[in-house]
Structure 1
């Protein structure tokens, strides 16, 4: 039986001897999720043709995964803190492998969408345990090196996913076609599960509160209720039930926050749950999103000995709230979450419709589409290394500049698409715009959490970072719903016209984000 490691080890305790081997295994497992964010995008048109998927089915291929991840992310981090991360990590790896197998053998769009949702849920079980275990296994400079490794691998994963998705789909190995982008996860999952049994230690947080499982179900239901009518509404003629469903979803999420604030005030908790383990997701273009990889304020409270959040007044661990009311009362945090949400709406919405336009309207192969979109990742790699340093000195100015660069870059792509006839335009006219938008991504996404958390008290930083990651996934699902719906509404006029109609929503979202950045703190935290 392995020794259980806690986040605050006894003085003089020896570090886990196989910690770097365990970190490598866990990083490979997390890579499955990091790749899955982008590897599927360039395969979506092939999926649609092979399975005769409807337009809303194609939107759900993106939204189902992101919704499953968003709905499960926070509570799974709390479950790992309290009951042990090793078991949840292994369960997440096994579940992700089985869900990937189900995606690869799916015979109908419904089967594939259901498997994608399970993939998202199991990925959300897996990823927080990796980041939480890193904090427990490593201390001092080693901890920074471990998170740096995560950030570097995660950055390259986005570009690799775009290329791998196109290459696997075009290669048509064993006649599998697009199914290869899912089936490739199966042997990886088997190998990491076996290695994890041997190398990954049992880790947990000594004073973690009780996860709010019921609240997580309410949150999941509310998020689904918002996205469902956005995706299905157009095909059903925007019925009344859709608007009622959307309103009910909003009320459920707001009501959950109000109830948790009331419950916290009665118990005198005065804090938030420890959501640190949920940080560190990846954006579409290769920049690392979240505190864990960026080394921001959310990593520091544990070392400062802050008390366990969510404790009852009597000293026993209480229920950890999912939506920290104290954090949302801070304008910088609330606006920061909104910026994150709008950013993700534009990102996921753009890459869904852009892939459809490239392959369906311009005749690109999946591999050609993947190679072209790597230009976006290249732009992010140019600015990401200096983004945190600039944010420490300039704060919101850097974020606002990043949002404007993204708006300008996507506007460049929009102008090139809008003037194109229904023929192959060639890649080069679009590359400068993609590079410019990617450069904006590096300036906006990398330091966003750090700048916002500089205005959040230390005891709230962990839970706040978890909310940011959830907002990113939910925003992506909403983006696939809204931007995809606008695109398909004009598809009868030609895919060029459809993309031209969808792009104002993408560009406008980043323009609004730039304006909102004016409310954020003047400087980040060094």
Structure 2
């Protein structure tokens, strides 16, 4: 497809889909469901323990089983959508996600719940990369930035509003059975979304019938086991004591190295690999993937330690703990929509400004907890968390727009899946690193000091992401000073 300046449509491009904004709403609804289930279950764990008599290890797998399964399928599912059709894969994943949510809510044992959560994560991994690929397909130029801005709003809100919604549902449903409604809430949304998806989502022009061999099964297996070996020691960092678990990182390096070698060999044969490694030669793509991995390491861990500090340290209820981090969600949701409109004008410097705001806001949060200890800490955190949330809204959506701006639409699924895999890897690394510092301080120094130390590690990840953004800005200024910001 020919592009005008800045990624806009050329004169020979076909007219855009007249239903694209309605189709986007369907994608955003599905994205909200799948991302919400990453965070909403955190506050439901005490209710699950009471309702099912689950042990600590089983509760951890309720969380990590979803995260692992979700991360494993992102890149293969993106490739499958590119090859077989994004609407078909989207609807298949959404139907499975809805059924798995029903199975989670109906669980009669902790083992049943863990298996259903893994199935739910696999289904979410099928859906998620289709969303960014469909946005790439349906929109171009400034409209694409606006669409990704709306998606960024959903990412920010779903991540932060999960504890609030979970706490409210448990409050209404009761301590013993309220956790079931955390999963049942997906059922009406899933049914409505499936109906609308069939009517509104476009087909994939480049898709066709494909055999298993054409989907690069060796590459899929090498990548899947490599990502599993990479994520597992991080998501189980608190449960698996000792240092032997880190040997899995060596196995991950071997498997991912074998994956890269196989993809080169597969591509040299004229076959279509599961991931086009040439994408990483595009500076905007490689810089954006590294930046978002580092940012999610700092961003996701904020909610992890905040809910621990407020619920376990200050004895807030699940609902109050969720409400305390709501300012971040509100700021992120507002700024993401604005950032989506501004990214075509300012480019990567907008992301750098957002990262600076997040770092300053988190520093202010640590200071607020230090100055206002005890029950008042939740109120003291509100303003700096709001400021950090405003910065976050200028990071996620604009970075996604910039990262995918030079990616061919035919490869949008696998490219978007890779970007989101980086987010999942970053989240796992961040929670493990921040959690280890947090738990090391709790016993001796107390909850407030542990929270401050945890936030310092989160800030360090955000500052590392900021350095990547500044290097990209500097390199771009020297190599292409008059170019479009979307590049």
* TM-score, scaled to structure 1: 0.75
| CA distance in structure 1 between the aligned counterparts of 2:303 and 2:92, rounded to whole angstroms | 31
Corresponding position: 1:256 with 2:217: no
Equivalences for residues 315-334 of structure 1 within 5 A:
318-322=271-275, 324-330=276-282, 332-334=284-286
Q: CA deviation at 1:460?
A: 9.2
User: SS of the counterpart of 2:395?
Assistant: helix
Match of 1:184 in 2: 185
Equivalences for residues 79-94 of structure 1 within 5 A:
79-94=80-95
| CA distance in structure 1 between the aligned counterparts of 2:355 and 2:142, rounded to whole angstroms | 33
Report the aligned-residue RMSD. Answer: 3.8
Match of 2:203 in 1: 203
CA spacing shift, 1:58–1:32, aligned 2, 3 Å: same
Corresponding position: 1:224 with 2:228: yes
Corresponding position: 1:416 with 2:368: yes
CA contact (8 A) 2:163 2:318 kept: no
Match of 2:431 in 1: 480
CA spacing shift, 1:431–1:467, aligned 2, 3 Å: same
Which of 355, 368, 377 is the equivalent residue of 1:403?
355
| CA distance in structure 2 between the aligned counterparts of 1:231 and 1:33, rounded to whole angstroms | 19
Match of 1:525 in 2: 486
| CA distance in structure 1 between the aligned counterparts of 2:217 and 2:134, rounded to whole angstroms | 22
| CA distance in structure 1 between the aligned counterparts of 2:288 and 2:146, rounded to whole angstroms | 27
Q: CA deviation at 1:42?
A: 3.5
Match of 2:463 in 1: 511
| CA distance in structure 2 between the aligned counterparts of 1:504 and 1:139, rounded to whole angstroms | 39
Structure 1, residues 275-304: CA drift from partner, whole Å, max 9, x if none?
A: xxxxxxxxxxxxxxxxxxxxxxxxxxxxxx
CA spacing shift, 1:12–1:221, aligned 2, 3 Å: closer
Question: Across the two proteins, how many residue pairs are aligned to each other?
Answer: 461
Q: CA deviation at 1:69?
A: 2.0
CA spacing shift, 1:103–1:484, aligned 2, 3 Å: farther
Equivalences for residues 303-452 of structure 1 within 5 A:
312=270, 318-322=271-275, 324-330=276-282, 332-388=284-340, 390-418=342-370, 421=373, 423-452=374-403
| CA distance in structure 2 between the aligned counterparts of 1:370 and 1:390, rounded to whole angstroms | 30
| CA distance in structure 2 between the aligned counterparts of 1:138 and 1:450, rounded to whole angstroms | 11
CA contact (8 A) 1:56 1:232 kept: no
CA spacing shift, 1:373–1:134, aligned 2, 3 Å: same
CA contact (8 A) 1:84 1:202 kept: no
Structure 1, residues 24-72: CA drift from partner, whole Å, max 9, x if none?
A: 6555444322432443343345445655666665554444323322221
Unpaired stretches in structure 1, ≥5 consecutive residues: 1-10, 268-311, 313-317
CA spacing shift, 1:55–1:337, aligned 2, 3 Å: farther
Which of 211, 216, 231 is the equivalent residue of 1:212?
216
Match of 1:499 in 2: 451
Unpaired stretches in structure 2, ≥5 consecutive residues: 1-11, 477-483
Q: CA deviation at 1:214?
A: 3.1
Q: CA deviation at 1:435?
A: 1.0
Q: CA deviation at 1:122?
A: 0.2
